[in-house]
Amino acid sequence: MPAGTIRYWAAAKAAAGTAEEPYAAATLAEALDVVRERHPGELTRVLQRCSFLIDGDPVGTRSHETVRLAEGGTVEVLPPFAGG
């Protein structure tokens, strides 16, 4: 199972209570399921509005189940923010 880092930005960082944490998941969907279990409540709501970058590439409208994660990769969690 690939392992890497999830980085939270802005409102996602505040809701998670951390700037980053490790993942061990094969897909973005699996990683986000673990995140929701670790941080129930506000972060779960924030994630519904977020965009995601996987190793610098936007996920866009792709199904999270189809987005494969790499060993040593990075998932950026980007909530919408004013002016951005």
Report the length, in residues, of the chain.
84
CB atoms within 10 A of CB 67: 20
Which stretches within the chain are classed as H helix? Answer: 10-16, 28-38, 42-47
pLDDT (0 to 100) of residue 43: 95
pLDDT (0 to 100) of residue 80: 86
Tokens of 54: 């996987």
pLDDT (0 to 100) of residue 77: 97
Which tens digits make up the pLDDT trace of 32-84?
Answer: 999 999 999 999 999 999 999 999 999 999 999 999 999 999 999 999 874 54
Which tens digits make up the pLDDT trace of 8-42?
Answer: 999 999 999 999 999 999 999 999 999 999 999 99
